Amino acid sequence: MEYLVLALVLLVLLGFVTVRSRRGRVPAGSQPEALRGEGPAGEVGREAGSGEGAPVAAAVVEPTYAGSLSRSRGPFSQLFARIKGQGEVETVTRQVEETLILADVGPALAEAIAGDLRGSLAGGSLDAESVRSALAAELKGRFLDADRTLHLGDQKPGVVLFVGVNGTGKTTTIGKLAAHLAGEGTKVTVAAGDTFRAAATEQVSIWAEQAGVDLVSGQAGADPASVIFDAIDHAGAIGSDVVLCDTAGRLQNKGNLMEELRKIRRVAEKGAGSVSEVLLVIDATTGQNGLAQARAFGEAVAVTGVVLTKLDGSSKGGVALAIESTLGLPVKLVGLGEGLGALKPFDVEAFVDGLLGGMD
């Protein structure tokens, strides 16, 4: 009898554990790819295989430059810790140059900065705070004195095209920006111009729904230029202020895909509004590879500015300076994390201070 009771208890416990485990697990394929992750009320998850996220509810965490640039700041912190107020200027500036290269500023630009720094430090103190202050001044002075405003256009609707290679975060950036603009009272229409990746349309439609903005999409495989043209016409008819246009990710060395992007730009200009911005979205973790992307896209569609994403996950934050110094393109927006509030206007002062860190 005792064995029978024990067996029944074990069966009940086993059944309870089984039910709990099934409730806590989402079977593979039961949820659309674009829904996996966390989103616009807070965190944004990453879509499988693309590095881009789709929205669902989570807690809001407001990021800072200092917190998000911790990986890039590490080598600079180590550099300043080694400086004890002694040594030769040549030695210190050589160490600075090496650290700038580690941050992916680029060899030529790092050498030029170190050379100017050598002159700034000559005859002065070589303590860590003096070196940090001089380097901060050099870096800030090399960023463009540019208009970083996001222009929505004088003629409504303004059209903002988002371009870039696969997985840089275009769709997520559009979703975050749409939510931000709508929250400010701007009437937004989103064009789902990435017609070749079903998850992209689904993903951007979720963002649009949660942001409370209009979405225009087409059939899978439809001509993206046609979808964007229809979206602009629709936006004009309903009085939207701006159309945010998603486009399919493409490698910058694929001539036929870049030609398609030129077509999208030409067609967008023929709609009810006018193209006010062409924003190139670059993943900061790619470092110097982002320069090659910027050159190719700039030649194809006259890029007006850069969105630098995933700065929080990169040790290569110096690429922001490389992009501006080498290509003359202003960084307009940066992604400092995965939350909705992590898409920020680019702030040179905050960026450099976050990159170099403060002194203890």
List of the chain residues with pLDDT < 70: 1-61, 86, 250-255, 358-360
pLDDT at site 219: 85
Task: Give the model's pLDDT for residue 115.
Answer: 95
Asked whether the beta carbons of 112 and 325 are under 8 A apart, the reply is no
Identify whether 234 is part of a domain: yes
How many other CB atoms sit within 10 Å of the CB of residue 292?
13
Dist CA 272 CA 298 (whole Å): 24
- In this structure, what are the phi and psi dihedrals at residue 129, rounded to the nearest 5 degrees? -65, -40
Domain that holds residue 264: 158-347
Q: Which residue has the tokens 């960026």?
A: 351
Return the amino acid letter for 44: V
Q: Tell me, what's the pLDDT at 258?
A: 82
Establish if 193 belongs to a structural domain: yes
Inside any domain, residue 97: no
The first and second tokens of residue 97, run together, are 């140059």
Cβ partners under 8 Å of residue 26, min gap 6: none
Q: Is residue 91 part of a domain?
A: no
**Residue 149 φ then ψ, to 5°:** -65, 140
Domain count, the chain: 1
Q: What's the distance, CA 76 to chain centroid?
A: 23
Those residues whose C-beta lies under 8 Å from the C-beta of residue 164, and which sit 6 or more positions away, are: 170, 249, 280, 281, 282, 293, 297
Question: Would you say 72 and 116 are in contact if contact means Cβ atoms under 8 Å apart?
Answer: no
The bridge status of strand 331-335 relative to strand 343-345 is: antiparallel
Burial of 113 (0-12, 13-18, 19+ CB in 10 A): buried
Q: Quick one: pLDDT at residue 43?
A: 29
Residues 221-262 have pLDDT tens digits of: 889 999 999 999 999 999 999 999 999 876 655 667 788 889
Residue 307 belongs to some domain of the structure = yes
Reported as half-sphere exposure (CB side, CA atoms, 13 A), residue 239 has a value of 1
Residue 196 falls inside a structural domain? yes
Q: What are the C-alpha distances in Å from 47 to residues 1, 3, 54, 106, 314?
A: 55, 51, 7, 31, 19
- pTM recorded for the entire structure: 0.80
pLDDT digits (tens, 9 = 90+) for 23-72: 222 222 222 222 222 333 332 333 333 344 544 444 455 789 999 999 99
Q: Per the domain annotation, does 338 fall within a domain? A: yes
Q: Which residues contact 14 (CB under 8 A, 6 or more apart)?
A: none
Cβ pair 352, 136 in contact under 8 A:
yes
CATH of the domain at 215: 3.40.50.300
* Nearest partner of 162 among 291, 332, 40, 338, judged by Cα: 332
Angstrom CA distances, 81 to 11, 78, 124, 206, 262, stand at 62, 5, 19, 47, 50
Q: Three-class SS of residue 151? A: coil
For residues 194 and 34, what is the distance between their CA atoms, to the nearest angstrom?
14
3-state secondary structure 54-87: CECCCCCCCCCHHHHCHHHHHHHHHHHHHCCCCC
In a domain, 167, yes or no: yes
